[in-house]
Structure 1
């Protein structure tokens, strides 16, 4: 009798979980299709989101991601900027055909600006989106007022063995049936929404070389600042369903592994780099490379931060320096 009860409970639990997952996937897919805007450009359809009024910040998002990473940019909207986040090719509603290579993705960004009638922007490269921002600065400097790199890739990139072998690495980087990847991202999202601090601890441990004391400082900072918890939840939400982002992520990994050494000394723009010294994902030498190559580039080093600089107690000061930089170079 006891075994039958356990079996029945497991069966009911499995059916309930399957229903919850199916409802989540259907609801999120419908939501993502309705909240983004798709515009026809010279390179094909590009999906984007835009919030705020004022000078435009064009964000090249990290991976996995999409236009919905705009929800992690609210502090710049609050600071008086218009934030424009396209889904890069292969992510969500922008087909990979809109720009497979890094240079083609830069062309796609310009095609979007042309379609929207936007003449100039400051471009912000976030994590895996960094190389596209660098290409924009090199090839289209007349369309930019400045360049910002946030924990951004600039050198050939491959996930390190520790990251690839971690739970999160298996969740985001493993090939397999897309519905299994969706289940994984759903489970991690549910865990993160209910237990954001343990989830953030797992993420920070994976993507940094920080000692436990510094990781706990991050968690205490989040606990004191609920907007940081909201930021983290928005970041996690922007990773699923993975099936809608996998083409972009796979393409990113292929492109980032073969980054060419660009002539960054030719970038004529005001440039700001913010990077954590303890970043175990996009290592600090990426920031040093850009800072040493781009004339008069400003490097803001966060000594006790990993890849998720936005969750660090050092972020408040870094954000103030970033907003000051943006205000210095704004032009509607």
Structure 2
């Protein structure tokens, strides 16, 4: 269910579902408060999951924050204003830098999960052109056309479209991907295709920067989950975080690409994340 918050002279939308220990989930690119990945499973496992739409997505204005550090400070204040004094931060993909900044020097954060997450500035071909203000409207139009095409193919050819979706963010060959997907994966990707879409937040995502010292200042328990087959956010991002946060735990996902919730190890990875969150909330309560 969508909620609209009005805090600190800013309006933004978010989801707040479930009961139990709080998980603040920071979604990735081209998503919003309706994030599909792992949310329902976390709620079923006994967690309260809060998912705010990041700047430029959903009903949240791009001007809400100019950097991950600024957005993290905003979320920290918002959570405190709601009298939520203990929570886990779960950063997905391009939500990684904000998750890192939020967990750094923040005693309210009991643990941090980084799932296929960016941990430093990403580099893309033609990136300098992609962030030009004059190109934002044409790029949004291209995104809209692309997602319209994806949704059409998911409806008409769900199995093949699912393989192609994973292929876009995978280092594996198409046939290798096809062998690793099952019906549950196809259903999840169908939901993703129908929910995800273009947003001005891509501009925020492409210009994110985070200092290495921010990672070094994280003292809460950290779990990094990443696949070597990830093309969208290369495996090197996980290794970078692991070097900067020596106490971090690490799981190498067997996912066939960027999405750790897809493929033969998906449920294992989810359960490990749920267990990690639960243990660290339990420690906080004793």
Instruction: Using structure 1 for the length normalisation, give the TM-score.
Output: 0.76
Query: Does residue 144 in structure 1 map to residue 109 in structure 2?
Result: yes
Separation in structure 2 between the aligned mates of residue 175 and residue 325 of structure 1, nearest angstrom: 42
Higher alpha-carbon Rg = 1
- SS of the residue corresponding to residue 311 of structure 1 reads coil
Per the alignment, residue 262 of structure 2 pairs with 311
Q: Displacement, 1:287?
A: 0.6
Q: 1:239 aligns with which of 186, 193, 196?
A: 196
Separation in structure 2 between the aligned mates of residue 262 and residue 204 of structure 1, nearest angstrom: 33
Query: Does residue 73 in structure 1 map to residue 35 in structure 2?
Result: no
Kept after mapping to 2: 8 A contact 1:57/1:124:
yes
Q: 1:274 aligns with which of 210, 225, 233?
A: 225
Separation in structure 2 between the aligned mates of residue 79 and residue 92 of structure 1, nearest angstrom: 26
- SS of the residue corresponding to residue 329 of structure 1 reads helix
Q: Displacement, 1:180?
A: 5.6
Provide, for residues 244-298 of structure 1, a one-character-per-residue CA deviation record: whole Å limited to 9, x for no partner. x2x211121122xx44333423211110000001111101011111112213211
Q: Displacement, 1:214?
A: 2.9
Query: Does residue 292 in structure 1 map to residue 243 in structure 2?
Result: yes
Distance 1:317 1:159, change over 3 A: same
Provide, for residues 80-117 of structure 1, a one-character-per-residue CA deviation record: whole Å limited to 9, x for no partner. 11111000112121112221211111012113313433
- SS of the residue corresponding to residue 38 of structure 1 reads strand
Q: Displacement, 1:178?
A: 4.5
Distance 1:112 1:199, change over 3 A: farther
Q: Displacement, 1:177?
A: 6.8
Per the alignment, residue 24 of structure 1 pairs with none
Which deviates the most, 299-308 or 98-107? 299-308
Instruction: Using structure 2 for the length normalisation, give the TM-score.
Output: 0.88
Separation in structure 1 between the aligned mates of residue 15 and residue 156 of structure 2, nearest angstrom: 27
Distance 1:211 1:145, change over 3 A: same
Which deviates the most, 111-120 or 173-182? 173-182
Distance 1:231 1:115, change over 3 A: farther
Return 5+ residue gaps in structure 2 as ranges.
127-134
Query: Does residue 250 in structure 1 map to residue 203 in structure 2?
Result: yes
Provide, for residues 195-216 of structure 1, a one-character-per-residue CA deviation record: whole Å limited to 9, x for no partner. 3321221122221111345312
User: What is the total number of aligned residue pairs between the two structures?
Assistant: 276
- Please give the root-mean-square deviation of Cα atoms over the aligned residues, in Å: 2.4
Separation in structure 2 between the aligned mates of residue 160 and residue 280 of structure 1, nearest angstrom: 13
Distance 1:287 1:160, change over 3 A: farther
Separation in structure 2 between the aligned mates of residue 70 and residue 107 of structure 1, nearest angstrom: 25
**Richer in helix (by share):** 1
Q: 2:159 aligns with which of 175, 197, 221?
A: 197
Separation in structure 1 between the aligned mates of residue 273 and residue 2 of structure 2, nearest angstrom: 27
Which deviates the most, 71-80 or 144-153? 71-80
Separation in structure 1 between the aligned mates of residue 74 and residue 8 of structure 2, nearest angstrom: 8
Kept after mapping to 2: 8 A contact 1:40/1:115:
no
Q: Displacement, 1:234?
A: 2.3
Kept after mapping to 2: 8 A contact 1:218/1:313:
yes
Per the alignment, residue 159 of structure 1 pairs with 124
Per the alignment, residue 26 of structure 2 pairs with 60
Separation in structure 2 between the aligned mates of residue 46 and residue 174 of structure 1, nearest angstrom: 21
- SS of the residue corresponding to residue 121 of structure 2 reads coil
Separation in structure 2 between the aligned mates of residue 63 and residue 277 of structure 1, nearest angstrom: 20
Separation in structure 1 between the aligned mates of residue 151 and residue 43 of structure 2, nearest angstrom: 25
Return 5+ residue gaps in structure 1 as ranges.
1-34, 162-172
Separation in structure 1 between the aligned mates of residue 188 and residue 118 of structure 2, nearest angstrom: 21
